[in-house]
Amino acid sequence: MPWLSYQKALNRALFDAMTADDTVFVLGEDVRVAASNVTVGLARRFGPDRVLDTPLSEQGFTSFATGAAMAGMRPVIEFQIPALLFLSFEQIVNHAHKFSLMTGGQCQVPVTYVVPGSGSRTGWAGQHSDHPYSLFAHVGVKTVVPATPTDAYGLLRSSVEDPDPVVVFAPAAALGVREDVDLATLAPVPLGSGRIHRHGADVTVVAVGHLVHDAIAVADDLAGSVSVEVFDPRTLYPFDWDGLTESVRRTGRLVVVDDANRTCGIAAEVIATMAERVRLAAPPVRVTRPDGAVLPFSIELDRATQPSRAQLAAAVALTVKER
Amino acid sequence: MTDSTVDSTVGTAVGLYRTVRLVRRFEERAVELVRSGDIVGGIHPYIGQEAVAAGVCAALGPDDLVTGTHRGHGHVLAKGADPARMMAELTGRVTGLNQGRGGSMHAADFGVGILGANAIVGASGAIATGAAWARRRLGAPVVAATFFGDGAVNEGMLLESFNLAALWRVPVVFVCENNGYATTMRVEDAVAGSITGRAEAFGIPAATVDGQDPAAVLAATRDAVARARAGEGPTFLECRTRRFDAHHTFEHKVRLRYRTDEADLRTRDPVDIQGARLDGTTRSEVDSEVEAVLDEAVAFALGSPFPDPLTALDHLYASGLTPRPGSDV
């Protein structure tokens, strides 16, 4: 079977979405030449009218897409760097997200915002390395963080088909992940459904995005002593609370690894919800970026602010200490 | 509608008068309902600026689009929304245009091309631009008019939409309602350069229009709409107008001292300017008809039920996703 990279999976999802539906179009900065590689070949296949290079006007073109969506089209915006979501946060949250309710259901705003290269890209420093997915979950904008190529394909297809705004974070550290897949089996993955990558009996590790691969590696390393279940929520909002509850009820222990700042992060919400639903056998542990982290430039500093496999292994050990 | 022999077709002298009169009296009735407590949260009265909405919307067809502002009742009524459902929206009733989910600052009626008032200054220019571009792309030769105040011309987001509309020749008319004040700040103290100069910087033709005269606004908008329909892109109209009433009805209780134009504020009243173009009999027939429409609107609104609190987050997601409640108990 062919090897499919995560990046190619996103490209293939856009290609298939644009083939399936004439109202889907892509806009963003440098998308015709595909500076981020995700829109490769789209302009040649679908023409410049469906692949719009925009001026550097993120607020303007984000709301342009909102208007286009309200008028019947399905825009897909590519943001080259995650920080552009801070710039366009008002347009996404205060307009795109609110119009359905505020108009009493008179309109839909089916816009997809894709960030190919969220989180640290290694050495891109303070303004290019954030992972602001928890902000969108907090305000209730549908938020997707795929970990694998098949999920990247499937979740992006579902996001484009969804009638509401959806933000798709494609972590930089996952873009190079490859998977041996039968391309004919690629299919939409519903939003709001988690996935257990590895079954285990002692502790549930909830891992977000690229950290799923770290969690699997740590689970493999610990296989002789601890049986670790790796739960990948895939969608942070809506979250598959029932799927996670089922896992945590079985294991009784919970660790969350999340490459975003600690306060009010998705890890906090996961732990709060499990504490409400399940009587845990040990206090839960989270491994995140520090509070208020700004990623420093120098490589060791960059790495020091992100969750590590060593921290995750230590967290797992802490939860199973007393059995 | 009451029986009437008067032809108030949109765009005729009578039609323009009917619209400015309807908006004026609607707003006066709405202010009464704010005072009686039937409209909670207050409103931003459009009183004094009626000629702008009336003139612009008279140049548009039913499929054309508009986006409005927090001071948006005039835009909604002039574009053809039902005054009764609009009043029901302001009073928070389930029969309102937005089922009571939007209120004064978010009234929308997609059935007649009203994509919604928007409470964030300068925000809807890009939305209107995108909507007009999309409809054109989907094969509908429509034009969008987007209203904003003088305060919005210093918002970067609006200036970005000028650039996009000009670059992509989007059929949009940018309508600046310059009423002299951004809340309490005088336009002279807020705008460096000129208002029309902002549009001209993007190569967008710009004109300054007497915003107290519905016929003048209509004539200027007709030219702009013709350009847009011919594929020549956006036009900018600065309509010089006057807000007769407060920025918001909270000022009726808390007097703010900032106006320097109180003395001659009402000397150019759009209702009188257009009314003078009608004979007395016609004018009073229109006035009676409008009053009957508004009596009916207020009765409809106050007689309508409030939405069920259990439906508070209905329509949050078009997909039907139900959000978690604030508590599990």
Domains and CATH numbers, chain B: 13-311 (3.40.50.970)
Q: pLDDT per residue over A124-143, tens digit each?
A: 999 999 999 999 999 999 99
CB contact under 8 A, B133 and A67: yes
B68 and A CB contact within 8 Å: no
Number of other residues whose CB lies within 10 A of the CB of residue B229: 14
For residues A100 and A178, what is the distance between their CA atoms, to the nearest angstrom? 38
Mutation target for B interface from A102, A144, A158, A160: give the one with most B CBs within 10 A.
A102
CB contact under 8 A, A105 and B106: no
Q: Which of A128, A131, A197, A210 is catalytic?
A: A128
The whole-angstrom distance between B76's CA and the closest CA on chain A is 13
The whole-angstrom distance between B97's CA and the closest CA on chain A is 8
For residues B209 and A62, what is the distance between their CA atoms, to the nearest angstrom? 31
For residues A188 and A159, what is the distance between their CA atoms, to the nearest angstrom? 9
C-alpha distances in angstroms, B211 versus A90, B60, B187, B195? Answer: 31, 17, 16, 14
B107, B117 Cβ separation under 8 angstroms: yes
For residues B47 and B105, what is the distance between their CA atoms, to the nearest angstrom? 15
Domains and CATH numbers, chain A: 3-185 (3.40.50.970), 195-319 (3.40.50.920)
Residue listed under structure tokens 């034009």: B143
Tokens of B71: 């001071």
Residue listed under structure tokens 């703010």: B256
CB contact under 8 A, B134 and A90: no
ipTM for the predicted complex comes to 0.95
Confidence tier at B308 by pLDDT (50, 70, 90): very high
A208, A268 Cβ separation under 8 angstroms: no
Q: pLDDT per residue over A270-293, tens digit each?
A: 999 999 999 999 999 999 999 999
Per the DSSP assignment, residues forming a β-bridge with A51 are: A26
Residue listed under structure tokens 């257009």: B274
Q: pLDDT per residue over B72-94, tens digit each?
A: 999 999 999 999 999 999 999 99
Confidence tier at B39 by pLDDT (50, 70, 90): very high
Between B108, B163, B315, which is nearest A57 by CB? B163
Question: Strands A254-261 and A285-289: what pairing?
Answer: parallel
Q: Which parts of A24-158 are beta strand (E)?
A: 24-28, 51-53, 74-78, 112-118, 142-144
Closest-CA residue of A relative to B104 is A102
Confidence tier at A11 by pLDDT (50, 70, 90): very high
Residue B190's nearest CA partner among B225, B150, B226, B162 is B150
Confidence tier at B2 by pLDDT (50, 70, 90): very low
- Residues in chain A with CB shorter than 8 Å from the CB of B115 are 67, 70-71, 107
Residue A128 is a catalytic residue: yes
What pLDDT is attached to residue A15?
98
DSSP state of A321: S
- Residues in chain A with CB shorter than 8 Å from the CB of B118 are 95
Q: pLDDT per residue over A30-76, tens digit each?
A: 999 988 889 999 999 999 999 999 999 999 999 999 999 999 999 99
For residues B6 and B139, what is the distance between their CA atoms, to the nearest angstrom? 37
Residue A206's nearest CA partner among A174, A225, A233 is A233
Q: pLDDT per residue over B87-123, tens digit each?
A: 999 999 999 999 999 999 999 999 999 999 999 999 9
Q: Calculate what percentage of chain B has a pLDDT beyond 70.
A: 98
C-alpha distances in angstroms, B113 versus A51, A95, B107, B116, B144? Answer: 27, 18, 12, 9, 9
CB contact under 8 A, B156 and A59: yes
For residues A241 and A210, what is the distance between their CA atoms, to the nearest angstrom? 20
B161 and A CB contact within 8 Å: yes
Q: Would you say the pTM of this structure is higher than 0.80?
A: yes
Residue B143 has pLDDT above 70, yes or no: yes
For residues B180 and B191, what is the distance between their CA atoms, to the nearest angstrom? 11
Laid out side by side, the sheet with A228-232 consists of A195-198, A228-232, A203-207, A254-261, A285-289
The 3-state secondary structure of A121-175, one letter per residue: CCCCCCCCCCCCHHHHHHHCCEEECCCCHHHHHHHHHHHHHCCCCEEEEEEHHHC
The whole-angstrom distance between A7's CA and the closest CA on chain B is 28
Tokens of B313: 């987050």
The whole-angstrom distance between A216's CA and the closest CA on chain B is 30
Q: pLDDT per residue over B3-12, tens digit each?
A: 455 677 778 9
Dihedral class, residue B144 (left if φ above 0, else alpha if ψ from -120 to 50, else beta): beta
